[in-house]
């Protein structure tokens, strides 16, 4: 990274890459202007042009996390434009699989999501933003549950909101387990545990 004036967007994207690499290896705790500067071979002074303080750097990191999470290919929104799995249980399963660390990109993204919880819980504004994200995600899951109930794939009498909250809890906790013990929770075991969970729901 050179301090000379250049393509502003390219520079900004280079800075974002540096932030992401520091986050991936050291987490939010290790995310400092100095660490990002070192990662980019730039001066701390140059970095303060982008991030006047630590909070601005954290804010950017969370935006970047959002952007990358939103743009990565998902089973519920295939990158090639092919249709998602059919509505109901298949789409609920796809949405839950989309959360799990089943490949390298999803491991990196999840590692940073999980790391963001410490920072977010310490800041009411960031905590509210995270709570909003998880709330919207539960609403989407609730829609899939309701579809599955209409289709007779899940028991009609069950509380769809409760099933959605429970399913979200299940995958989030599985993410944490898999990040700490990847050897015990390879992708096929994560998938089998999720399928066992969904079979239990279907059995009512």
Mask: binding to a second copy, 55-94, rule CB under 8 A, as x and -? ---x------------------------------------
Region binding a second copy by CB under 8 A among candidate stretches 42-50, 69-77, 81-89, 179-187: 179-187
The answer to the question of residue 53 lying near a second copy (CB under 8 A) is no
When binding is defined by CB under 8 A, the residue of 2, 3, 13, 25 that contacts a second copy is 25
Q: Which residue has the tokens 């989407």?
A: 140
Q: What are phi and psi of 75, to 5 degrees?
A: -65, -35
Count, residues in the chain: 204
Contact between 187 and a second copy per CB under 8 A = no
If 0-12 CB within 10 Å is exposed, 13-18 middle and 19+ buried, where does residue 52 land? exposed
Q: Which two three-digit tokens encode residue 185? A: 């929770």
| Cβ-based neighbours of 180, under 8 Å, separated by 6 or more | none
The residue range among 76-84, 90-98, 145-153, 175-183 that interacts with a second copy, by the rule CB under 8 A, is: 175-183
The angle subtended at Cα 36 by Cα 72 and Cα 181, nearest 5°, is 55
Contact residue for a second copy among 36, 97, 146, 201 (CB under 8 A): 201
Pick 16 or 110: Cβ nearer a second copy: 110
Name the residue among 3, 116, 47, 68 with its Cα closest to residue 35: 47
Q: Give me 193's structure tokens.
A: 């545990």
- Whole-angstrom distance, CA of residue 7 vs CA of residue 17: 15
Q: Which of 29, 74, 95, 154 binds a second copy (CB under 8 A)?
A: 29
Helix-, strand-, coil-residue percentages of the chain, each rounded to 5:
75, 0, 25
Q: Which of 1, 46, 90, 166 binds a second copy (CB under 8 A)?
A: 166
Binding flags for a second copy, 115-154, as an x/- string (CB under 8 A): xxxxxxxx----x--xx--xx-------------------
In whole angstroms, the minimum distance from the beta carbon of 174 to a second copy comes to 4
Question: How many CB atoms within 10 Å of residue 180?
Answer: 10
Residues near a second copy (CB under 8 A) are 25-30, 58, 111, 114-122, 127, 130-131, 134-135, 162, 165-166, 168-177, 179-181, 184-185, 192-193, 196-197, 200-201, 203-204
């Amino acid at each position: 990274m050179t301090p000379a004036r250049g393509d502003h967007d390219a520079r900004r994207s280079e800075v974002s890459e540096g932030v992401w690499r520091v986050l991936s290896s050291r987490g939010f705790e290790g995310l400092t202007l100095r660490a990002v500067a070192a990662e980019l071979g730039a001066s701390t002074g140059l970095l303060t042009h982008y991030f006047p303080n630590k909070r601005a750097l954290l804010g950017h990191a969370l935006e970047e996390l959002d952007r990358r999470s939103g743009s990565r290919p998902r089973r519920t929104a295939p990158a090639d434009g092919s249709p998602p799995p059919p509505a109901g249980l298949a789409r609920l399963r796809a949405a839950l699989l989309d959360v799990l660390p089943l490949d390298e990109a999803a491991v990196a993204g999840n590692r940073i999501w999980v790391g963001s919880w410490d920072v977010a819980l310490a800041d009411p504004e960031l905590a509210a933003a995270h709570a909003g994200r998880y709330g919207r995600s539960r609403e989407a899951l609730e829609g899939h549950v309701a579809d599955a109930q209409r289709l007779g794939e899940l028991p009609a009498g069950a509380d769809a909101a409760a099933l959605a909250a429970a399913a979200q809890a299940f995958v989030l906790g599985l993410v944490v387990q898999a990040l700490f013990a990847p050897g015990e929770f390879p992708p096929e075991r994560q998938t089998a545990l999720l399928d066992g969970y969904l079979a239990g729901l279907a059995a009512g």
